[in-house]
């Protein structure tokens, strides 16, 4: 009996996607189609729709992230001003533990709000007295550059991939859970059918039947 159950459990699994859609929407009028087959086809069609919806949501999330970060970068750029600074000391390596890697050097510069002093990013090996470009904020203090378009694109792609992975795992879990329930339904159906058919050829007295 277990072999028969295993053999016939998922006869709908060999149906094409188009066939599943027809069966799920009630357009398959095959008299041999069981409620179990329709339920499985609805599961397959629903899973496909969820996967497609996941890709759409991922694309929307990526586009929204790109637009938001692009606007932020443009806003930051409006408050950044490039001036020429002169180093007053040798370059020093940044501390990697502080979250930055590179070299900085003490420098002085002139800005509309007055002269300024501070540390600015410089190329490796910059010596004292070198003229370098410094990026300042509206208050005339050294400030970081706005996020580049490459980083914005990378963030948008990561967000899109994250949405795909989260929704993909969720869809996979839902499919597995639902299919397991259909498996149990199939096993009960075949056991019930076997109890009705087996006594006819074995001569065994038929039991009370399935409920």
Dump pLDDT digits (tens) for 182-210.
777 766 665 565 555 555 555 555 555 55
SS3 25: coil
In whole angstroms, give the CA distance from residue 26 to residue 83.
Answer: 71
| Mean pLDDT in residue range 35-63 | 87
Provide the CB-side half-sphere exposure for 196 (13 A, CA).
9
Please check whether residue 50 is in contact with residue 57, taking contact to mean a CB–CB distance below 8 angstroms. no
Give the position of tokens 């010596």.
127
Range of weakest confidence among 36-40, 60-64, 75-79: 36-40
| Mean pLDDT in residue range 65-84 | 95
| Mean pLDDT in residue range 29-47 | 75
| Mean pLDDT in residue range 157-169 | 95
Q: What is the mean pLDDT of the chain?
A: 79
Model confidence, pTM: 0.66
Q: How far is the CA of 189 from the CAs of 1, 64, 95, 180, 200, in angstroms? A: 12, 49, 69, 14, 18
């Amino acid at each position: 009996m277990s072999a028969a159950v295993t053999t016939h459990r998922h006869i709908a699994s060999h149906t094409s996607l188009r066939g599943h859609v027809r069966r799920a929407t009630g357009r398959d009028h095959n008299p041999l189609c069981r409620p179990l087959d329709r339920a499985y086809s609805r599961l397959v069609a629903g899973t496909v729709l969820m996967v497609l919806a996941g890709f759409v949501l991922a694309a929307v999330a990526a586009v929204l992230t790109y637009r938001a970060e692009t606007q932020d970068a443009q806003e930051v750029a409006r408050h950044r001003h490039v001036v020429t600074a002169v180093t007053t000391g040798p370059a020093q390596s940044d501390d990697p533990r502080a979250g930055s890697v590179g070299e900085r050097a003490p420098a002085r510069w002139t800005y509309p709000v007055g002269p300024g002093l501070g540390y600015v990013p410089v190329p490796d090996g910059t010596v004292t007295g070198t003229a370098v470009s410094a990026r300042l904020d509206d208050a005339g203090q050294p400030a970081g550059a706005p996020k580049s378009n490459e980083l914005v694109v990378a963030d948008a792609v990561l967000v899109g991939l994250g949405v795909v992975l989260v929704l993909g795992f969720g869809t996979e879990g839902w499919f597995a859970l639902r299919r397991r329930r259909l498996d149990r339904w199939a096993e009960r159906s075949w056991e019930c059918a076997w109890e009705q058919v087996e006594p006819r050829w074995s001569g065994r007295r038929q039991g009370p039947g399935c409920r």
